[in-house]
Amino acid sequence: MITIDEVAGRPASSRRWDISVLALALTVLAFDNVWWPGRALASSVCMLILLAPSLSRLASPWVVSACALTAAYIGDWSDTDNHHLMIIAAVLLVALVARNAQRAELLAQGARHLIAMAFVLALLAKLASADFRSGQFGALWPATDSRLADLAVRVGALAPADRATNEEALEVLITQDTAPFIPVEAWFANLFTGWTAAIELAIAAGFTVRRDNRLAIVGDLALLAFLATTYSVVPVLGFAAILGTLGLSQSRHRSISGLYVLGLVAIPLQDALATII
């Protein structure tokens, strides 16, 4: 494979840093959609960084951005999602390494830690959940979440009439204590549960090892597979963006980096097209 270090022009590490912080600044601008004063400040700082990229090598703009994002996260806690916390952690990482001469390498290492930690926590949450362990989550959630229910109906794991019944259940429960509900077929439930746990385990393991370990490529491929499969069905764009950005920051190979960039562009594009159609 051709490494990104072979890219002509400016030093490769400098170029890698520029691309990574560009992606992060765009992620903050697009997906930090909570408490507006915090958003306004963080977005202004990121705009400045986009207009004057040399600012990205200073710690202070990133510190200001991290503080504003944290204030937004706390101020609007009921509206925040886990990807907002990931964005804060990524901005903090950039702030901590920005002034270091080895900033691109340190960012890559830190990005790997962040991805690994997020998926270790996701796996632990699944293991701690009686719902998930019993398989009930896999049977119920695809029948509950309209995005997954579409897929379940398409592959024959849920009858269209049953889907309609399930859609009414939440409304019925506003006035009554019980409502009929039909789970998806067992094969689909098992596939959903197994795939979710397996892909997250592969990502956690692949990003826990050092970057020069052979298994590291498993992490990249698993993360790309996760982005392609999960977010094409359930487009959680903020999470896709921060994971793609962190994946890009630590990638050494042009082909893998290209796939991360493709993911960063294709997932919102697919979502926009789906909305229009």
Which residues contact other proteins (rule: CB under 8 A)?
Answer: 77-82, 85-86, 89-90, 92-93, 96-97, 100, 102, 106, 109-110, 113-114, 116-119, 121-122, 124-126, 128-129, 131-132, 136-137, 140-141, 144, 169-170, 173-183, 196, 236
β-bridge mates for residue 3, sequence order: 253
Residues 267, 233: contact at Cβ < 8 Å? no
Find the shortest distance in angstroms from Cβ 161 to other proteins.
Answer: 14
**What is the rounded distance in angstroms from the CA atom of residue 93 to the CA atom of residue 91?**
5
The nearer residue to other proteins, 85 or 262, going by C-beta atoms, is 85
**Longest CA pairwise span in the chain (Å):** 67
Find the shortest distance in angstroms from Cβ 237 to other proteins.
Answer: 14
The nearer residue to other proteins, 141 or 260, going by C-beta atoms, is 141
Residues 148, 141: contact at Cβ < 8 Å? yes
The nearer residue to other proteins, 14 or 134, going by C-beta atoms, is 134
The nearer residue to other proteins, 5 or 79, going by C-beta atoms, is 79
Angle at CA of residue 174, ends 171 and 175, nearest 5°: 110
The nearer residue to other proteins, 156 or 180, going by C-beta atoms, is 180
**What is the rounded distance in angstroms from the CA atom of residue 261 to the CA atom of residue 216?**
19
Find the shortest distance in angstroms from Cβ 199 to other proteins.
Answer: 11
Residues 224, 247: contact at Cβ < 8 Å? yes
Find the shortest distance in angstroms from Cβ 56 to other proteins.
Answer: 16
